[in-house]
Structure 1
Amino acid sequence: MTAKNSVHHSIPRAARPPGGFFIHLFGIFRPGKGPRCFFLRGFLCLWALLLPVLAGGQPVIPFSQEVRVAGVWDLFPYSYQEEGRITGFFPELLRSAGAVLGFTPEFPSMTWSEGLERAMEGSIDIMVSLTKTQERQAFLDYSAVPLATSWGVVLIPLESSVTDVLALDARPVGIVRGDQNGKNLMALTESFGVSPVYREYSSHSALQAAIIQGQVDAGAFFSAFRFDGDALRRSPIIYNPVQTFYAVPRGSNQRLLSELDALFTRWIEHTDSPYYQLQERYLTNQGRRPGTFPGWLRTLVILLGLGFLVVLGLNILLRRLIQRKTRELQQTNELLMAIFNHAPMPIIMMTRGGEFRYVNQRFSQVLGYSIEEIPDAETWWQIMYPREDQRRRIRQIYEHRVEQALNSGQTSIEPTEGQLVARDGRAYTFQFLMTFTQDLNVVMFQDLTELRANQQYLEDFNAQLEYLVEERTRELEQSRQALFLAEKNAGLGRMVAGFSHEVNTPIGVSLTAASFLMEETQGFSDQAGAGQVSRKQFQTYLDRALESSKIILQNLERAAGLINGFKQVSADQMHLSIRSIDLKDYLQQIMLSLQPRFRHTRHTWKIESPSIQMITYPGALAQILTNLVTNSLTYAFPDPESIGFIRITAVREDSRVFVRYEDNGVGIPIEDWEKVFEPFFTTGRGRGGTGLGLSIVHSLVTERLRGSIGLRRSELGGVCFMLDLPMELSEDTVDSDTGSAQG
């Protein structure tokens, strides 16, 4: 909000009404105080009585000059323009007075604020329709006789929900620059603890247009203002009545002011004077003396008196409610400060100007500085970034980001990462999070030091591993055949890791059972040597020995089965020799060797196949299945919480075996189907993919197993590979050169 269309209660307190609504209401009935007011009124009354006698109804000394008049020309019916002529109660009253006193009023075109400025400069002679305030009395002399009384009213759109002063809180409300009704409304809302957003306008017409256009929700006017009834209506808010006077620049035109006071005093005493004629014409339906009130106004005063009692009671209740809410806010503030101080991350609260208001305990604990040592952002930059070039660079980036966020209306900036050095010399890696409130900027420091250290360790470790792998495979990387061998060795390595994990459990159980059996046997031997073995102890020992032996035997048999399966699968992969296998059993052995890859996931697998005897290269088949499973686990299920499913189906048709491998993963885009078997093509380069897995599969199927492989649409929704393999292979059917190259 700019200063051009907003008000921040800039009116001096001395210029505001000293009391609330009802003090001003009953204050209009009090006479002026002090001897000066008394003598001034006596002088004016005496002058009013003597003037007709001395002058015979004419001025004693005619002015015979033009009088420059300033005022607001859209205050119907007080003053307004009609067909290019300034008219209304005050201009016509001044014209009537000029006819008696011998001057001609001139009404130059100017705004209300311009009129006040010219009054301060002394470049006008008189102002009309002016309320009396202490602020204006500094540069104006007022007439002693008030000429009209009006009430402050609040105009609102027809569909507005504003019903009382409290409803104006936080709403945009318009006032006319320099208008007393607007100042009185500001004082009224302040007395109720209400904070509208005030916007100034140059005239009442401009304010009315602003309400109709929706720029503000309400506006302060005087009760006689003629408003557009098709778009606006009066709200129930009626407040401080104000009296309007004539005024001249302070210290000038005193004769004109005194002559007018004398004339108006005389006219007020006679109901047939121009004063009452103009009142009847412009202000009322019948002439009446100032100080007398119509019946409706007396009724209104009575109702307002009763309303005052109601408001007084409500004010007491409201004060108690405010006190209770204040206590609740204090408790909430204390709770928030406790949360702030005990937050697990360092936090700074600072003003937009860079002054540090609060730092929590974690800030001082981690960085070792108190708010007294770092009172503002400038000190922060000096301490945290002692190198000038580094400080300038980081500060420019920070200030640029803050400026961008504020200009775009954002309430925070993107998290940034950086390092800070604490007082003890320890370097911390933080992620800086900044949010903006109305008055404060909140900066939070998320400590990433340990995380980044672990990441760096892993990166170094991976780099070392990559270096070792490169060292071991440098010579093999010269040819495509060597890369295939490295991929096959990697698959075998994964199988070894899985086998080690699987075989560790039965061997560990066997070792535990053997140790227990040895302890029991040793104890039994000691008791037998001492001749202390009872029948019960003997039977207990036999039961325990038998149970331990069963456990040892079962787990060793399980380990032996795993070892034999692993030996067979690994030997097949290493030597790639032709032999006869049961396809279903062999597929089961391969998937069991890969079972550790499924740990810590929610994925499952299933083999659907009858017993099929094949003469083939089992090692090549194991390598193919290993690569396909690895491919699915790596790329098909990117969501760690997904439930994956792999299905392997085998059927025999004449002398061919068709193996269908499919999963329910994300699948492969159709446009990539023709490229998936090309060497080094991969969609998962960032996840460790080399692009050789499916290329090796294709080579093993087509060259080693003399079959074919292709992609199909899967019923499960993911990828589907269809393998067409011969039932029997012989050494003669496989070219030795091709086999050695691919092996």
Structure 2
Amino acid sequence: MYRLLKHGKHPAKRFRLLVVDDQPMNIQVLYQIFSEDHDVFMATSGEQALAFCQETPPDLILLDVLMPDLSGIEVCRRLKANPLTADIPLIFVTGQSNPEEEAIGLSAGGVDFISKPVNATVVRARVQTHLMLKFQAERIEEANRTLEARVAERTEELQQAMDHVVQQEKMASLGSLVAGITHELHTPLSNMRLVSASLLDRVEQLADDLSAGKISRSTLDGFITYCRESSALIERASERSYSLIESFKQVSVDQSSDRRCEFDLLDIVSHTVSTLRPMLKTTSHSVDIDIPAGIIIDSFPGPLEQIITNLITNSIAHAFPDREGGTMHICARHTDHHFTVSFEDNGVGISDDIKLRIFDPFFTTKAGRGGSGIGMYTVYNLVTSLYGGTIEIDGRLGQGARITAKFPISERKSQ
């Protein structure tokens, strides 16, 4: 039966040692060597050793090779096959000097061989070495676990931060659309207000003339003509306002949600460009669309509109710093399994070093001048993560830039 051999009175840093030998005298020798510094347990057979390790695994095992029930080699193999005891360093203690036996023991999982009769200095040094190796390995493993936990925590925090920034970018984009639409609506709404006010004045004047009995045929004809012209002006202004509101409503709803539906690719791109017309009017730049009609996509329209918006605003901000009359071109083509959207501008182009970093989060060439560094990262993230597609950029300094996104999304043509 195994038992704890009484140790000395120095409990500083004590490891648990298990000495396994069928000869009590050999156990006593090892106890005398280690008991002052460590907790020393004993077992007089292989079965006892296996039972002890299963219940309370020690830090190190000193194991006799030749024992009557189970040999030390077999005990070693069983310990190494058990995940609970596989990492316990095991030193064989043998009275025979046999290279073949040592090779078998080391291949079975032993870490060292010590010959009997043991030399106290040698066995103490070897045991101390393997205990320190085990201790350091455990500290490294614990440090790795702590580091992995911290990395996972920081990664989650960073992802949450990035999601928040991306959401802010989307809201900022919608804010720009709101500002643009508001500015654009001001003209037709002001015209309607002026015309309706003027028309009301004419109606009041006609009512006064009617009360005074001063209505002539020419006065009535003039009033009818004015009503027709005013109605036409109000109708045109209202149609313009309705068109702007519908475009904005479509884009804003899509961009603020991730709903999946069927949509016409040309309609989505046209709506998006239409909402950006107020911003484009403040520049001399233009956007051309080359997309065949009737391509019906079953996917997410909102993120696609966000992609188009970011590409256009990025070009306006970076491609034409000292140039008027820049042109942006949006082209789309499709096959049975995917569609490709290509965005190209004839601006200043892009250098190789910027090309390598353009999709990195927070990278911008206009730091401190209004650049957030998140627009193109949002494009990359939507194309690759949401759609599972690919995106690449091509261009040289002075030769414009082309960004091509390939979307592996199921689609069908309308009949």
TM-score surpassing 0.5?
A: yes
The structure 2 residue matched to 1:722, chosen from 399, 404, 408, is 404
Q: CA deviation at 1:710?
A: 0.9
In 1, the alpha carbon distance for the partners of 2:158 and 2:407 equals: 30
In 1, the alpha carbon distance for the partners of 2:349 and 2:291 equals: 24
- Corresponding residue for 2:341? 659
In 1, the alpha carbon distance for the partners of 2:229 and 2:397 equals: 49
Q: Per the alignment, in what secondary structure is the counterpart of residue 235 of structure 2? A: helix
Q: CA deviation at 1:574?
A: 1.0
Q: Per the alignment, in what secondary structure is the counterpart of residue 266 of structure 2? A: helix
Alignment of 1:30-109 (within 5 A): none
- Corresponding residue for 2:311? 628
Residue pair 1:616, 1:727 contacting (<8 A) in 2 also: yes
Following superposition, which runs of at least 4 residues in structure 1 exceed 3 angstroms of deviation?
475-478, 713-716, 726-729
1:205-234 residue CA offsets vs partner (Å, 9 max, x unmatched): xxxxxxxxxxxxxxxxxxxxxxxxxxxxxx
- Corresponding residue for 1:512? 194
Residue pair 1:647, 1:663 contacting (<8 A) in 2 also: yes
Q: Per the alignment, in what secondary structure is the counterpart of residue 256 of structure 2? A: helix
Summarize the Cα distance change of 1:545–1:626 in structure 2 as closer, same or farther, 3 Å threshold.
Answer: same
- Corresponding residue for 1:539? 221
Residue pair 2:348, 2:398 contacting (<8 A) in 1 also: no
Q: CA deviation at 1:714?
A: 7.7
- % identity of equivalent residues: 37
Is residue 298 of structure 2 the alignment partner of residue 615 of structure 1?
Answer: yes
Q: Which runs of 5+ in 2 are unaligned?
A: 1-156
Residue pair 1:609, 1:650 contacting (<8 A) in 2 also: yes
In 1, the alpha carbon distance for the partners of 2:232 and 2:291 equals: 34
Alignment RMSD? 2.2
Residue pair 1:620, 1:705 contacting (<8 A) in 2 also: no
In 1, the alpha carbon distance for the partners of 2:396 and 2:176 equals: 27
Q: Per the alignment, in what secondary structure is the counterpart of residue 515 of structure 1? A: helix
Residue pair 1:662, 1:716 contacting (<8 A) in 2 also: no
- Corresponding residue for 2:44? none
The structure 2 residue matched to 1:479, chosen from 141, 161, 170, is 161
1:587-644 residue CA offsets vs partner (Å, 9 max, x unmatched): 12211211222234221221111112222222111111111111111111111x4331
- Corresponding residue for 1:673? 355
- Corresponding residue for 1:405? none
Q: CA deviation at 1:529?
A: 2.2
Q: CA deviation at 1:559?
A: 0.4
Summarize the Cα distance change of 1:715–1:543 in structure 2 as closer, same or farther, 3 Å threshold.
Answer: farther
Q: Per the alignment, in what secondary structure is the counterpart of residue 689 of structure 1? A: coil
- Corresponding residue for 1:682? 364
TM-score normalised over the length of structure 1? 0.33
1:111-155 residue CA offsets vs partner (Å, 9 max, x unmatched): xxxxxxxxxxxxxxxxxxxxxxxxxxxxxxxxxxxxxxxxxxxxx
Alignment of 1:363-378 (within 5 A): none
Q: CA deviation at 1:476?
A: 11
Q: CA deviation at 1:478?
A: 6.4
1:297-351 residue CA offsets vs partner (Å, 9 max, x unmatched): xxxxxxxxxxxxxxxxxxxxxxxxxxxxxxxxxxxxxxxxxxxxxxxxxxxxxxx
In 1, the alpha carbon distance for the partners of 2:380 and 2:215 equals: 70
User: Once structures 1 and 2 are overlaid, which stretch shifts more, 650-659 or 550-559?
Assistant: 650-659
Alignment of 1:176-215 (within 5 A): none
Residue pair 1:663, 1:716 contacting (<8 A) in 2 also: no
Q: Per the alignment, in what secondary structure is the counterpart of residue 356 of structure 2? A: coil
The structure 2 residue matched to 1:568, chosen from 227, 230, 250, is 250
Is residue 298 of structure 2 the alignment partner of residue 588 of structure 1?
Answer: no
In 2, the alpha carbon distance for the partners of 1:477 and 1:706 equals: 18
Alignment of 1:162-561 (within 5 A): 479-561=161-243
Amino acid in the other structure paired with 1:556: S
Q: Which runs of 5+ in 1 are unaligned?
A: 1-474, 730-743
Summarize the Cα distance change of 1:504–1:476 in structure 2 as closer, same or farther, 3 Å threshold.
Answer: farther
In 2, the alpha carbon distance for the partners of 1:683 and 1:556 equals: 42
Residue pair 1:574, 1:619 contacting (<8 A) in 2 also: yes
Amino acid in the other structure paired with 1:523: Q
Q: CA deviation at 1:716?
A: 8.9
In 2, the alpha carbon distance for the partners of 1:556 and 1:493 equals: 23
In 1, the alpha carbon distance for the partners of 2:410 and 2:208 equals: 63
Q: CA deviation at 1:655?
A: 2.8
In 1, the alpha carbon distance for the partners of 2:398 and 2:250 equals: 32
In 2, the alpha carbon distance for the partners of 1:721 and 1:564 equals: 29
Q: Per the alignment, in what secondary structure is the counterpart of residue 357 of structure 2? A: coil
Q: CA deviation at 1:528?
A: 1.6
Summarize the Cα distance change of 1:715–1:531 in structure 2 as closer, same or farther, 3 Å threshold.
Answer: farther
Q: CA deviation at 1:544?
A: 0.7
The structure 1 residue matched to 2:320, chosen from 629, 633, 637, is 637
Q: CA deviation at 1:715?
A: 12
Residue pair 1:644, 1:665 contacting (<8 A) in 2 also: yes
Q: CA deviation at 1:565?
A: 1.0
Higher Rg: 1
Q: How many residues align?
A: 254
In 1, the alpha carbon distance for the partners of 2:203 and 2:409 equals: 55
Q: Per the alignment, in what secondary structure is the counterpart of residue 197 of structure 2? A: helix
Amino acid in the other structure paired with 1:691: G
Q: CA deviation at 1:705?
A: 2.4
Q: CA deviation at 1:654?
A: 2.1
In 1, the alpha carbon distance for the partners of 2:158 and 2:168 equals: 8
TM-score normalised over the length of structure 2? 0.58
1:536-569 residue CA offsets vs partner (Å, 9 max, x unmatched): 1111111111111111112111101110111110
Summarize the Cα distance change of 1:528–1:727 in structure 2 as closer, same or farther, 3 Å threshold.
Answer: farther
Amino acid in the other structure paired with 1:644: G
Q: CA deviation at 1:498?
A: 0.8
In 1, the alpha carbon distance for the partners of 2:184 and 2:358 equals: 33
Q: CA deviation at 1:657?
A: 1.3
